């Protein structure tokens, strides 16, 4: 193989990884929205079930980890507390930034090691759940430890990440086959 041929191969690989990164980012952003919609539907169904059984809401409502993360970022980077009226939007920004960044990593990795896409994104979503929700979030003090939540909370979070992973993968694949081919 000539030096020019090797350079062209490296350039094509870089272009493919960049396309995968873009497709994965878009996929992660779309999936973050779909995940929110799934969670809202799950919560509504759970509340309806509790109401029909004559039960009130389970447990206390905690501030979401995304809002806690936004508060931490504001304190560390800006040196000030996050204004109450900006918490929801800041929490959403953290959610979408995390979703987009995770999708970007997945999209780039899919170009370099296509076998990682086996399972249509479900293994990817599971990995995000395990690494982010079950490990990083508690270690950063943004939630209690995993053993302090009931199994139903873990099932809800894992199902949400199945939806996230599947949606990321479908969106990434469609973009790579159509727009970014």
Number of domains in the chain: 1
How much is the pLDDT for 138?
Answer: 96
Q: Which of 44-58, 76-90, 94-108, 138-152 is the least confident region? A: 44-58
Query: Does residue 21 fall inside a structural domain?
Result: no
Query: Does residue 129 fall inside a structural domain?
Result: yes
Query: Does residue 74 fall inside a structural domain?
Result: no
Cβ burial, residue 171 (10 Å; 0-12/13-18/19+): buried
Query: Does residue 170 fall inside a structural domain?
Result: yes
How much is the pLDDT for 56?
Answer: 56
List all residues 6 or more positions away from 165 whose beta carbon is below 8 Å from its beta carbon. Answer: 31, 120, 121, 122, 123, 124, 125, 126, 128
pLDDT tens column, 25-70: 999 999 999 999 999 999 999 888 887 776 655 555 688 999 989 9
Average pLDDT over residues 119-146: 96
Determine the longest span between alpha carbons in the chain, in angstroms: 75
Position 156 confidence tier, pLDDT thresholds 50, 70, 90 = very high
pTM assigned to the model: 0.87
Query: Does residue 92 fall inside a structural domain?
Result: no
Backbone torsions φ then ψ of 105, nearest 5 degrees: -60, -45
Query: Does residue 110 fall inside a structural domain?
Result: yes
Domain that holds residue 117: 36-47+97-177
Q: What is the 3-state secondary structure (H, E, C) of 72-93?
A: HHHHHHHCCCCCHHHHHHHHHH
How much is the pLDDT for 142?
Answer: 93
Position 6 confidence tier, pLDDT thresholds 50, 70, 90 = very low
Report the alpha-carbon distance of residue 102 to residue 35 in Å, rounded: 14
């Amino acid at each position: 193989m000539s030096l020019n041929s090797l350079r062209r191969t490296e350039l094509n690989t870089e272009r493919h990884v960049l396309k995968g990164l873009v497709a994965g980012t878009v996929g992660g952003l779309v999936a973050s929205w779909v995940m929110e919609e799934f969670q809202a539907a799950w919560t509504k169904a759970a509340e309806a079930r509790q109401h029909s059984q004559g039960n009130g809401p389970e447990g206390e409502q905690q501030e979401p980890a995304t809002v806690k993360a936004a508060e931490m970022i504001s304190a560390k980077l800006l040196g000030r507390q996050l204004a109450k009226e900006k918490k929801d939007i800041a929490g959403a920004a953290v959610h979408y930034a995390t979703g987009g960044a995770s999708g970007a990593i997945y999209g780039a990795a899919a170009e370099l090691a296509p076998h990682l896409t086996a399972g249509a994104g479900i293994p990817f979503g599971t990995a995000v759940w395990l690494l982010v929700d079950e490990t990083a979030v508690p270690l950063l003090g943004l939630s209690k430890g995993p053993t302090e939540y009931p199994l139903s909370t873990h099932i809800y979070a894992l199902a949400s990440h199945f939806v996230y992973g599947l949606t990321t993968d479908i969106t990434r694949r469609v973009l790579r086959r159509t727009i970014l081919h």
